[in-house]
Amino acid sequence: MTFKFDDIIAQLKKKQFKPIYFLEGEEPYYIDVISDYIEQHALSEADKSFNQSVLYGKDCQTKMLLDTLMRYPMMSNYQTIILKEAADFKGMDDMTAYFEKPLPSTIFVVCYKHKDVDKRKVLGKLLSKSEHIVHFKSEPIREWDIENWIKTYVNQQGYKIRTETAATLKEYLGTDLSKIANELSKLFLNIPKDKELNNEDVEKYIGISKDYNVFEFQKALGAKNSLQAYRFVQYSRANDKANPLVMVIASLYGYFSKLFIYQNCVGMSEKDTATAIGIHAQYPGKILMEYKAAAQQYPPQKMKHIFAILHDFDLKSKGVNATGGDNGALLQEMTARLLNA
């Protein structure tokens, strides 16, 4: 049967196990969390030596896997078998009989990342119907939901986080939930609970500078604050790994896309405008004022030119039509053209 992530974790914490956990989908983070929890908590440390196996799909043979699944645990109620990289396992279609009637003393975890099982086949139909199977579909998170995900995750760990800090993390870390969770763990190790995480914490423990991050750079461009924009350029040229040009261009494309949407929200309420842009702050007024100011610097008739500049430098950053300059030189040239647009 198909379950939600929170429901699966709640059952596992109560030691309520099912014979099969089939975890599929494009977002690997939730699959890893569930499989790691079972690997760490289903058995005691003493039982793991004889009753826990981690296998990999590309190295796995069907008969060997079935023989392993049908073993009885040694001096334990359960054995756990975790099949990682299951999408590379060639014998999944031959496992139907086991999926229909699994051994109750075996906890079989299938980590089927980045793909979905064909629901037209027998196995695919079993996933959502069998009472022996916990089926979980891990959907990719949408880009505009990342800030809310960060806030929720931080709150679940017993902390609070400022909206601008969540935005900074999103701009720098993108939509990779595993990477975001890993970076946040650095904060949790160094900061007492109940503290509100801020940009200074992020700069100190993760290394993302408040003054020299992409989030601040796009605000400087929006205000045509050349001094602040060139400070970012010089910092980036001196620290070539701090702000990869491809990431900067992607961030600017997102920023100017939102600005273009804002310019087409004439007559809409503040709430509807914020929703259209993808702002989920409780009080979006300050952010919308920044977009309003940026819209005066970059009126609608200039937006086509802005996107052409970003497209040009995206190609150059990938070696197309490049003139031989390094990424730092390209960043400086792009910044000059955007400020002069």
DSSP three-state, residue 177: helix
CA–CA separation, 249 and 313 (whole Å): 8
Q: Tell me, yes or no, whether 24 and 94 share the same domain.
A: yes
User: Diameter of the chain by CA atoms?
Assistant: 74
pLDDT in tens, the chain (341 residues): 899 999 999 999 999 999 999 999 999 999 999 999 999 999 999 999 999 999 999 999 999 999 999 999 999 999 999 999 999 999 998 999 999 999 999 999 999 999 889 888 888 999 988 999 999 999 988 877 898 999 999 999 999 998 888 888 887 787 889 989 999 999 999 998 878 998 888 888 887 766 677 888 999 999 999 999 998 999 888 877 778 898 899 989 999 999 999 999 988 988 889 888 887 666 677 788 999 999 999 999 999 999 999 999 999 988 887 666 688 899 999 999 999 98
Query: Could you tell me the residue range of the domain that residue 102 belongs to?
Result: 5-138
- Asked if 139 and 26 count as a contact pair (C-beta separation under 8 A), the reply is yes
CA distance 14 to 302: 59
Same structural domain, 11 and 131: yes
Per the CB < 8 A criterion, the answer to whether 68 and 81 are in contact is: yes
Q: Specify whether 170 is located in the same domain as 273.
A: no
pLDDT at 211 (0 to 100): 66
Is 266 in a helix, a strand, or coil? coil
Residue 68 shares a structural domain with residue 180: no
Q: Is the dihedral of CA 254, 260, 263, 266 positive or negative?
A: negative
Q: Are residues 242 and 147 in the same domain?
A: no
Q: Is 26 helix (H, G, I), strand (E, B) or coil?
A: coil
CA 222-228-232 angle, to 5 degrees, is: 100
pLDDT value for 188? 93
Q: Are residues 131 and 227 in the same domain?
A: no
- Which residue type sits at 115? K
CATH number of 165's domain: 1.10.8.60
Direct distance between the N- and C-terminal alpha carbons of the chain, in angstroms, rounded to an integer = 56
What confidence score (pLDDT) does residue 167 get? 82
Domain match, 275 and 325 both: yes
Q: How many other β-carbons are positioned within 10 Å of the β-carbon of residue 143?
A: 12
DSSP H or E segment with residue 136: strand 133-138
Domain count, the chain: 3
Does 98 lie in the same domain as 164?
no
CA pair distance 90, 87, nearest whole angstrom: 8
Query: Are 28 and 132 members of one domain?
Result: yes
Residue 288 sits in a domain of what CATH number? 1.20.272.10
Shared domain for 122 and 154, answered yes or no, is: no
- pLDDT for residue 94: 92
Select from 138, 162, 193 the last residue of a domain: 138
In terms of phi and psi (left: phi > 0; alpha: psi -120 to 50; beta: otherwise), the region of 114 is left
How crowded is residue 258: how many other Cβ atoms within 10 Å of its Cβ?
19
For position 81, which CATH number holds? Answer: 3.40.50.300
Bridge partners for 24 per DSSP: 112, 137
175-199 burial by CB neighbour count: b if 16+ within 10 A, else e? bebeebbebbeebbeebeeeeebbb
For residues 115 and 191, state if they share a domain.
no
DSSP labels, 235-251: HHHHSTTTS-HHHHHHH
Q: Check residue 243 and give its pLDDT.
A: 81
What's the confidence (pLDDT) of residue 239?
77
Domain end position, chosen among 94, 121, 138? 138
Of the three residues 138, 157, 187, the one that is the final residue of a domain is 138
Check whether residue 95 and residue 114 sit in a common domain: yes
Instruction: Say how many CA atoms lie within 13 Å of 227 toward its Cβ.
Output: 0
Number of H-type helices and E-type strands within the chain: 17, 7
Q: How many CA atoms lie within 13 A of 62 on its CB side?
A: 9
CA–CA separation, 69 and 105 (whole Å): 9
